[in-house]
Structure 1
């Protein structure tokens, strides 16, 4: 069509207005979507033609051409003429045009199209409703690609309708589905021009991230883009350009069991033991499994995971790395290492481990599930909530029965409040702190009683800090914590490897006063956690009092009408010995 369009523009520009059907001329140039050619014609028309001599649609097109080329004053005149005449126009487009043309101050008002321009023609100009009805009826009998391809063969002009449907869909959320429909229709056209429009959209800053990714996928699927070459795409959530790799994955369970039947049985028994809180029993079973089959990557990984749950992080992580040495394609181990790296605050290392899962052509369901979970957490860590939401949506679609989805949703809901917490939220947090400080506490408060002072929901943060199972009733979870925290070896590892020097100094200072210090003096020395989120389940604290309280090593309450900080009674002799050995 290009040679004909160029010839048409030449004829229009060299023909007197009196010798033309002006409405047809305006409409024809609008079909070609040439701003400059349309404005040159529109400028001539505005100088000599009266309002009643053209239809509302023609005047709207001239106004759109004027404002698209920066002629606001002339656009206002054309839009006002359009408002006074009869004819088909999109009311919202005209209203937006009048607002933009009449605007005297501030930045220009963008048009209703996805690209910020004022569209000239509605997609129904090319896709008449009877054609759409015919197409929908045909799709009930044939696949969409066949129907659209046949439609384009019979009516080549409909391809222009799909292009208008894409770019003219606007910013209203209700019409965004039309963007995806238009992209699919253009891909079904299968012409070089259609693919060019899809690429233009994929590499633009317009529309939603999901739609641009969909456009890129269509190009890869049609063989129009090498999947090994990244797309340079605009990432709205970060407001920057980035390289995006599109990788198709197959979710598939391994065809053969990873180990022999005896080892598989031992791993099943160890899982049950761990669920019941018997970590030592789970480890014994897994050590037996590894002794039987030392090259079973899953058994080695599971043994490492249980050592981490027991608090022996270095030994556990070494075993997990060993499982990858045995089987470099054991993807679940990469998900575990990604989570461990994130817990240390090493986001880049976490992403590197996840890349093994993301780039795999085939991935087992459990590895993908854990990988998506870590992606949610990485997004939260980086305050990229859109990224977290996309990973969570995929997790919900693929694994709707995953028992951690609700926790992740709540975590994302809380994070969406942002750093600027509402005054109501802040008041609730402060009220909670005041209630905790006002609860009576004795100078010889035991560990179980200290743990029982916090809610079941907050207790989950303490269980997570000690890498313990979070299931069971509150009393069962407290008993599990007491058993682990009073183990001298586990407690020593936690104090020396998890706590920083300032937190250890705070414990020494409280222990010097027989395990009880006035809260006011404590906060004067080591800071206050008053403005820190008390919801340890979702937000790990960073202040010294917050870390110590979440770990269960410090409790607060009122003693003799004054708030105090208390180290639980059973932990005092153990902590004194551990801290003295570290000096």
Structure 2
């Protein structure tokens, strides 16, 4: 590559390879070099256009295709690769606010590309992209791998339930090593092609670090409904890649919250050191209890076993099951507590006692009953099933319906024949609307929002007093913000990425370097509206400052917007200018101001004119 710095074809190919097999951010580093090369003929033009499309450089795609469009009679009179060219033009138009032309073009191309019907439907609906996507894609998942390789993957994926797990993982790893773009294809299922469950399942089966990262991206986003995001989180938890003691921030029921997700080991090997005779007696008594008309005999056999060895906890638990079926709840509870005296972490009696408490309306008591199990990471399969089912019952009573569904689905993944879990899940699905309404009322979500907004504004008021100079440096301004806020800012002002894993101090330095560079600063302000640019000019003319009250009177304020820029991009002018580090709040002589960091003033004066 070093010897072919101006080789358009080579640069385009490397962008495609790196973007689809490694990361788009790394591929984007080659774009400035390719962007400056003039295509020599249509072949070069189309190759450069492909690279621009892969990187989402929509205006570049449009400009590269425009000469071909002007020389063409339109998609009705073209064939083969020309249809693909017109498809790319339609996508570029859809992504650059040329929707009318995009709709006309896609309508004519539907017979050649059936999947464009979803793109056209999204356009007619006024959406920013198909599915969960915020833009229109140039490539369908089927285009990322050769057809034969996609069929090979589908065949392998279908063997998950019949192939030994170790062998399946090895073959999946081998396939992903040969064709790493399978991860991107699965992400397209989730984000663009209305097949999120399929995409999540594929990523879980692939099991590579890239697949895990893709699951995390979706599971911790605000995209889609709570249930499908929790499915991604639960799939990720099975990998053991989530820290047991580090909270995971997720968007659930209209708010951000931190949750702990544990990775569990499911192992049905026996843990107890009973004699062979005791195991035989326990098995005989258990099998007898399942036979019609043999209950009394089973009770006698369990009692004989307890007389022989009073520490066989399963005997007490199985007796409790018999008494429960006979509606002798007090006897059942007595046996369950006896089992817990032998093993306080025995899952079955704890879960069953918790279920009794739920039935009695004592939700707090049920939670306390399960609490000792919270640190367990190893379960037998049937133990995990009842543990998840019990947690689901508690979640339903608390109005946490998505959490309940996720727990029930996990219980059924482990034990598909678990009738009680099936029944409860069916109840949730059949009564979803009524239960959601009841949950919303009970939790009084509106009150929560009001309280959260009040807390945010209290923090904001303190923040407004920390800076006391009308001429702050970028270091002084950026140091006010949390790392989360700075991460949101970095997304807007750093051109080539590479900031996601930085510590706060390093992140501040990267943002300062970016904002101090004229080209990077142009990139940061490019999305600003004419009105926002005029506001900056007026502030520059006023020695880089404006009264907060005057700005609010002329334009707006961002007090009701979320301060968590990493997750919520502001819509107000004040918020958008603060997000990019162009303005910061300061209190000078008891007056609240919006001021511009000193390093930006000469650069913005030059850029804005």
- Extract unaligned runs of 5+ from structure 2: 1-17, 19-24, 75-81, 438-609
CA deviations over 1:178-233 (Å, ceiling 9, x no partner): 4146425754xx4x655543432343344676775675577667775545545434
Give the Cα separation in 2 of the matches to 1:389 and 1:60: 41
TM-score (norm 2): 0.49
Give the CA deviation at 1:290.
6.5
Instruction: Report the Cα distance in structure 1 between the residues aligned to 2:153 and 2:305, rounded to whole angstroms.
Output: 61
Q: CA 1:208–1:257 in structure 2 vs 1: closer, same or farther (change >3 Å)?
A: farther
* Number of the residue aligned with 2:220: 203
1:161-560 equivalences in 2 (<5 Å):
162-169=183-190, 175-176=195-196, 178-180=198-200, 182-184=202-204, 187=207, 190=208, 195-206=212-223, 225-235=242-252, 241-243=257-259, 244-257=261-274, 261=278, 268=285, 295-298=311-314, 320-321=336-337, 323-354=339-370, 356-357=372-373, 359-364=375-380, 367-384=383-400, 386-393=402-409, 395=411, 398-399=414-415, 408=424, 411-412=427-428, 415-416=431-432, 418=434
Look up the match of 2:29: 6
> Which residue is equivalent to 2:135?
117
Contact map agreement 2:219 2:233 (CA 8 A) in 1: yes
What is residue 96 of structure 1 aligned with on the other side? 121
Counterpart Cα distance in 2 of 1:288 and 1:185:
48
Structure 1 length normalisation: TM-score?
0.51
- Cα distance in 1 for partners of 2:426, 2:213 equals 42
Whether 1:38 and 2:58 are equivalent positions in the alignment is yes
Counterparts of 2:106 and 2:29, CA distance in 1: 27
Q: Quick check: 2:266–2:381 contact (8 Å CA) kept in 1?
A: no
Distance 1:410 1:177 in 2: 19
Distance 1:240 1:98 in 2: 30
Matches within 5 A, 1:47-196: 50=70, 52=72, 55-65=82-92, 67-68=94-95, 71-72=96-97, 74-81=98-105, 83-84=107-108, 90-96=115-121, 98-100=123-125, 108-133=126-151, 158-160=179-181, 162-169=183-190, 175-176=195-196, 178-180=198-200, 182-184=202-204, 187=207, 190=208, 195-196=212-213
Q: How many Å apart are 1:130 and its aligned residue?
A: 3.2
Give 1:342 shift: 0.8
**What is the distance in 2 between the residues matched to 1:87 and 1:17?**
29
Please tell me whether the aligned partners of residues 259 and 293 of structure 1 are also in contact (alpha carbons under 8 angstroms): no
Q: Deviations over 1:12-41 (max 9, x none)?
A: 256489898443222211223x3xx33355
CA distance in 1, matches of 2:37, 2:362: 68
Structure 1: runs of 5 or more not aligned: 101-107, 422-583
> How big is the shift at 1:246?
3.0
- Contact 1:304–1:315, Cα closer than 8 Å, also in 2: yes
SS in 2 for 1:345: coil
CA contact (8 A) 1:297 1:323 kept: yes
Q: Call closer, same or farther: CA 1:91–1:369 in 2, change over 3 Å.
A: closer
Question: CA distance change for structure 1 residues 267 and 253 in 2, over 3 Å: closer, same or farther?
Answer: same
* 1:56/1:87 contact within 8 Å kept: yes
- Quote the offset at 1:163 in angstroms: 0.6
CA RMSD of aligned residues (A): 5.5
Contact 1:250 1:363 in 2 (8 A): yes
Q: Secondary structure at the match of 1:114?
A: coil
Q: Residue 66 of structure 1: CA displacement?
A: 5.4
Q: Is the 8 A contact 2:231 2:406 kept in 1?
A: no
Could you tell me how far 1:327 is from its partner in structure 2?
Answer: 1.8
Residue number among 28, 48, 59 corresponding to 1:25 in the alignment: 48
Change (3 A) 1:417 1:354: same
> Secondary structure of the residue that 1:418 maps to in structure 2?
helix
